[in-house]
């Protein structure tokens, strides 16, 4: 049995709600970092603050052996595009204000379940 749109709709007060999973991948550049231990400290702190502030899932998803590059994937749920865009903008602002690393790129993917 597959997971089609009708399988993923949840009855909430008589209304069918289709949730979307969004995965935002953020690539950061931190030129002052000179060791993987220093990078790990920055990544762990940022992951923790994102999880606590936005209740999202966060992993370091790439460039794990390159000490000046940080790639984070952040997953969250939203029931419509405007809420997802708001969360996306808020997370980007949060990252900019909570680290000195430069944002090199952002990619957002949506999956309807």
In the chain, what are the domain boundaries? Answer: 19-112
Per-residue pLDDT, 26: 97
What's the whole-model pTM score? Answer: 0.80
3-state secondary structure string across the chain: CCCCHHHHCEEECCEEECCEEEEEEEEEECCCCCCHHHHHHHHHHHHHHHHHHHCCEEEEEECCCCCCEEEEEEEEEECCHHHHHHHHHHHHHHHHHHCCCEEEEEEEEEEEC
Per-residue pLDDT, 113: 63
Question: What are the pLDDT tens digits along the chain (113 aa)?
Answer: 344 444 445 555 555 567 899 999 999 999 999 999 999 999 999 999 999 999 999 999 989 899 999 999 999 999 888 999 999 999 999 999 999 999 999 999 998 76
Per-residue pLDDT, 6: 46
Superfamily the domain 19-112 falls into: TT1725-like (3.30.70.1120)
């Amino acid at each position: 049995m597959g997971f089609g749109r009708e399988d993923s709709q949840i009855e909430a007060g008589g209304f069918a709600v289709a949730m979307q999973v969004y995965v935002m991948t953020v690539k950061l550049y931190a030129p002052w970092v000179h060791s993987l231990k220093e990078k790990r400290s920055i990544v762990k702190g940022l992951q923790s603050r994102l999880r606590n502030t936005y209740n999202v899932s966060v992993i370091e998803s790439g460039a794990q052996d390159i000490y000046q590059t940080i790639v984070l994937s952040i997953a969250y749920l939203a029931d419509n595009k405007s809420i997802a865009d708001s969360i996306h903008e808020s997370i980007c602002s949060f990252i900019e204000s909570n680290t000195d690393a430069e944002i090199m790129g952002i990619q957002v993917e949506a999956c309807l379940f």
